[in-house]
Amino acid sequence: MNIRKILATLLAGAMIFSIAGCNSNTNTGDTAPATDESATDAGNEADTTSGEKPYIAIVSKGFQHQFWQVVKKGADQAALDLNVDITFDGPPSESDIAIQVDMLKSAMDKQPAAIALAALDTESVKEQLEACLNNNIPVVGFDSGVPGAPEGSIYATASTDNAAAAAIAAQMLYENTDFKAKLDAATADAPIAVGVLSQDATSESVVSRTTGFIDKLVELVGDENVKVSGHDKYAKDAASAKLLIVVNVPATTSATDLKTSAESLLATSGLAAIYGSNEAAATGMLTASNDGSEFNSENGKFGEIIAIGFDAGKTQRVAVENGWFYGSVTQDPYQIGYQAVKLAVDAINGVPAASEIVDTGAQWYNAENLTDPSILELVYD
Amino acid sequence: MVNSEKKGPDIQKLLAPAALVILYIFFCVFGQNFFSGSTLVSILDSTYYVGLMAFGITFVIVTGGIDLSIGTNMMMSALLGGYMLANGANIWLCLVCMVAIATVIGFINGTLISRLKLPPFIATLGVMMMTQGFGSIITRVQTQRFPSSFDENGAYKTIFYKTANGFPSGIVYMLVFFVVALVLLKKTRIGRYTYAIGSNEEAVRISGVNTIKWKTLVYVICGFFCGLASIVYAATYTTIIPGTGNGLEMNAIAAVIIGGTSMSGGVGTMSGTLIGALLMSVLKTGLMSMGLQGHYQTFFTGLVVILAVLLDIYRNKRAARV
């Protein structure tokens, strides 16, 4: 009994000492709990010529897809080129907002010289961003970045212009002769449908790609001719619409839910085309169609339906190669990772940001241009 | 008096299958394009892996225990199988290893629970987290991909998932092992001991039966079925993502509960579990065909679970009436 009490007291004492010892700065006045300690020290250390490599903490949206592995490759290379230390972390899935917040907090606790963040949900990390701002830890956004972040808290963002990328998909769909023919033949009584499989309705990249696609299609077909349904966020009514855009957002980002959502869209009557917002959505479409083979225009079950994906991954690449997917839009995940680190280093060195967004670009790829080496290097496995 | 009491249990047995049929008809009427061959195949597609996991965990729940690790166990086995495949192993060897690995995890669970006396919830919770992490550690958090049906090694898909002309061969696979599970539970010694241990473990132990061995075996069976589920999961979804699987066990457990198995043990049927798994798939696909998206599915599935348990409690109360 006595030993236990002594141990407990010692433990409590050790905890109190560590908190007291680290709490050197009491005038930060920030709201985030465990981050006040040594954050300011980190800000000063980065510029010293002590020979110690600056440390950049990267918090991504996850490792769920090969996409992030390629982002990591780019970041690793940049770390090598620019002589910095990085850690690359991400929550187990893109639904795990709370876990990402925790990861961000522990990244801040590691006293980084800078942080690179791809937020699953900006609101959830607002507190931590304020803390970083108050402690002079520059934060760089990448991929979805941190849209709507508190003024001045984000140095710059390295990302794809998602809305523009999605607009490419809409443009290519509109220019497809089969689709054009169906669209011209459609009337308000016999409309055609386009399915949009959107992984979630919270992260900026997915939302932008959904909105970008829908907006461009509405612009091309005519506002009064298009009705959007399926999810309140994108809903739009039209009295006599000949094109129905149906948006489906699954309950979670799990493979099983995405497959079910894809199947539901593929069963929509009058479906002429289906579009996926990212690699996960494209994977959902692929698993719902026997890895894409059912989109085979000759004898496939969904041969009549035009499938358009996003990002890459081996199965999607095969589907595009074989012409089952009409095409897909790929980003440049390698550059996203590389630029994220580069921007972080610029921020550490006090270089003023050249622009708020560094557009890492998007490309349309299909069976024809996949042989082009510049496209091929963007289409990861 | 005797006659009406005799009628009672029979009607109750038909309740779950009746609910399934009613629900199916409901969605045929109110859903869009629900009554079609392809929808039926979609429903079956999402049932295979849940069904197989549910068959395995039925044994565990009937003994009054629980196994939270089945979801991540299945994923880890699939991950490791994909990893072996990526490193050049023969696909059939990989599939066999997947079942073996999952069975070993089942054995670990069983040992922790019956020999080392850990509470099932805690032991399987720990194993769940360990398997979730282990899969990611070995594969270095890389997504593993299984061959597509048109790839060189794609034959496994024809057997375990779907044939070239769309016949859902996975249902054959699932039904074969449904019969295996059914026979195990109803006709063999392990089945009888499963019910006995679930009803009164202490009495079984005192009467000289080696409860440690038999309880461990129950968890081994559960692990084995997870391995079977991992094969069909790989065949259905092809891409295995590390760090996932957490949460799938809840679907399997819900299926078992809806099927009439009691969490306190001693009561349960394998056919009930099968019905429960099918019911959840019908619910999921049906709600979506009515235009209700994902969040409604989880809401209604939870509602169905509660109703199923309430029904079970009501049924027991009536049976206990003097």
| Domains along chain B with CATH numbers | 37-314 (1.10.3470)
Q: Which domain holds residue A77?
A: 51-160+333-361
Cα–Cα distance, B166 to B322 (Å, whole number): 54
pLDDT of residue A135: 87
A299 and A192 both lie in a single domain:
yes
**Banded pLDDT at A232 (limits 50, 70, 90):** confident
From first to last of the 322 residues of chain B, give the pLDDT tens digit. Answer: 444 444 445 666 677 888 899 999 999 998 877 888 888 888 898 899 999 999 999 999 999 999 999 999 999 999 999 999 999 999 999 999 999 999 999 999 999 999 999 999 999 999 999 999 999 899 888 888 898 888 888 889 888 988 877 788 999 999 999 999 999 999 999 999 999 999 999 999 999 999 999 999 999 999 999 999 999 999 988 888 888 888 889 989 999 998 888 888 888 899 999 999 999 899 888 888 887 776 788 888 889 888 888 877 887 787 777 7
A194 and A323 both lie in a single domain:
yes
Q: Which residues of chain B are within 8 Å of residue A290 when distances are taken between CB atoms?
A: 148-149, 162
| Least Cα separation, residue B226 to chain A (angstroms) | 17
A231 and A317 both lie in a single domain:
yes
Residue A233, in any domain of the structure: yes
Q: Which two tokens stand for residue A230?
A: 């399926």
A146 and A194 both lie in a single domain:
no
- The highest-confidence range among A112-126, A343-357, B170-184, by mean pLDDT, is B170-184
- Answer whether B244 sits within 8 Å of A260, measured CB to CB: no
Residue A131, in any domain of the structure: yes
Type and span of the H or E element at A245 = strand A243-248
Residue A29, in any domain of the structure: no
Mean pLDDT of A170-192: 92
Say if residues A57 and A86 touch (Cβ distance below 8 Å).
Answer: yes
Residues of chain A in Cβ contact (below 8 Å) with chain B = 63-66, 69, 92-93, 230-231, 248-252, 254-257, 259-261, 263-264, 267-269, 283, 286-288, 290-293, 301, 313-315, 318
Cα–Cα distance, A228 to A214 (Å, whole number): 8
- Answer whether A315 sits within 8 Å of B46, measured CB to CB: no
- Answer whether B238 sits within 8 Å of A286, measured CB to CB: yes
| Least Cα separation, residue B141 to chain A (angstroms) | 7
A151 and A218 both lie in a single domain:
no
Each residue of A237-294: pLDDT tens digit?
A: 888 889 999 999 988 888 888 998 999 899 888 999 999 999 999 999 999 998 888 8
A209 and A319 both lie in a single domain:
yes
A286 and A312 both lie in a single domain:
yes
pLDDT of residue A208: 92
A186 and A320 both lie in a single domain:
yes
pLDDT of residue A12: 86
Dihedrals φ, ψ of A117, to 5°? Answer: -135, 135
- Answer whether A264 sits within 8 Å of B247, measured CB to CB: no
A135 and A151 both lie in a single domain:
yes
* pLDDT beyond 80 at A146: yes
Residue B76: what residue type?
Answer: M
Which of B38, B143, B248 is the closest to A66 by Cβ? B143
| Least Cα separation, residue B136 to chain A (angstroms) | 10
What is the three-state SS of chain B?
CHHHHHHHHHHHHHHHHHHHHHHHHHHHHHCCCCCCHHHHHHHHHCCHHHHHHHHHHHHHHHCCCCCCCHHHHHHHHHHHHHHHHHCCCCHHHHHHHHHHHHHHHHHHHHHHHHHCCCCHHHHHHHHHHHHHHHHHHHHCCCCEECCCCCCCCCHHHHHHCCCCCCCCHHHHHHHHHHHHHHHHHHHCHHHHHHHHHHHHHHHHHHCCCCHHHHHHHHHHHHHHHHHHHHHHHHHHHCEECCCCCCCHHHHHHHHHHHCCCCCCCCCCCHHHHHHHHHHHHHHHHHHHHCCCCHHHHHHHHHHHHHHHHHHHHHHHHHHCCC
Each residue of A358-370: pLDDT tens digit?
A: 888 898 999 999 8
Which of A251, A257, A314 is the closest to B145 by Cβ? A314
Q: Which residue of A has its CA nearest to B283?
A: A260
* pLDDT beyond 90 at A319: yes
- Answer whether A260 sits within 8 Å of B242, measured CB to CB: no
pLDDT of residue A254: 85
Q: Which residue of B132, B165, B288 is the best one to mutate when testing the A interface, meaning the one whose CB has the most A CBs within 10 A?
A: B288
Cα–Cα distance, A224 to A241 (Å, whole number): 6
- Answer whether A264 sits within 8 Å of B285, measured CB to CB: yes
**Banded pLDDT at A168 (limits 50, 70, 90):** very high
pLDDT of residue A14: 82
* pLDDT beyond 80 at A41: no
A265 and A356 both lie in a single domain:
no
Chain pair A-B, CB pairs under 8 angstroms: 104
Cα–Cα distance, A255 to B109 (Å, whole number): 27
Residue A191, in any domain of the structure: yes
A173 and A290 both lie in a single domain:
yes
Q: Which residues of chain B are within 8 Å of residue A231 when distances are taken between CB atoms?
A: 293
A130 and A197 both lie in a single domain:
no
- The highest-confidence range among A89-98, A145-154, B106-115, by mean pLDDT, is B106-115
Q: Which residue of B46, B75, B244 is the best one to mutate when testing the A interface, meaning the one whose CB has the most A CBs within 10 A?
A: B244
Q: Which residues of chain B are within 8 Å of residue A283 when distances are taken between CB atoms?
A: 239
Q: Which residue of B has its CA nearest to A286?
A: B237
- In sequence order, the 6+-apart residues with CB closer than 8 A to the CB of B265 are B61, B62, B63, B64, B65, B197, B198, B199
pLDDT of residue A31: 37
Higher pLDDT, A95 or A100: A100
pLDDT of residue B179: 97
Q: Which residues of chain B are within 8 Å of residue A295 when distances are taken between CB atoms?
A: none
In CATH, what number is assigned to the domain containing residue A228? 3.40.50.2300
* pLDDT beyond 80 at A13: yes
Q: Which residue of A69, A227, A290 is the best one to mutate when testing the B interface, meaning the one whose CB has the most B CBs within 10 A?
A: A290
Residue A343, in any domain of the structure: yes
Which of A64, A259, A263 is the closest to B237 by Cβ? A259
Which of A69, A255, A268 is the closest to B237 by Cβ? A255
Q: Which residue of B238, B251, B295, B297 is the best one to mutate when testing the A interface, meaning the one whose CB has the most A CBs within 10 A?
A: B238
Which of B241, B291, B297 is the closest to A64 by Cβ? B241
Q: Which residues of chain B are within 8 Å of residue A263 when distances are taken between CB atoms?
A: 42, 285
Residue A263, in any domain of the structure: yes
* pLDDT beyond 90 at A341: yes
Strands A363-365 and A327-330: antiparallel
Residue A35, in any domain of the structure: no
Beta-carbon count within 10 A of A316 CB: 29
Is A150 exposed, middle or buried, given 0-12, 13-18 or 19+ CB atoms closer than 10 A?
middle
Strands B239-240 and B144-145: antiparallel
Domain count, chain A: 2
Residue A339, in any domain of the structure: yes
Each residue of A43-90: pLDDT tens digit?
A: 333 444 446 789 999 999 887 678 888 899 999 999 999 999 999 988
Q: Which residue of B237, B296, B297 is the best one to mutate when testing the A interface, meaning the one whose CB has the most A CBs within 10 A?
A: B237
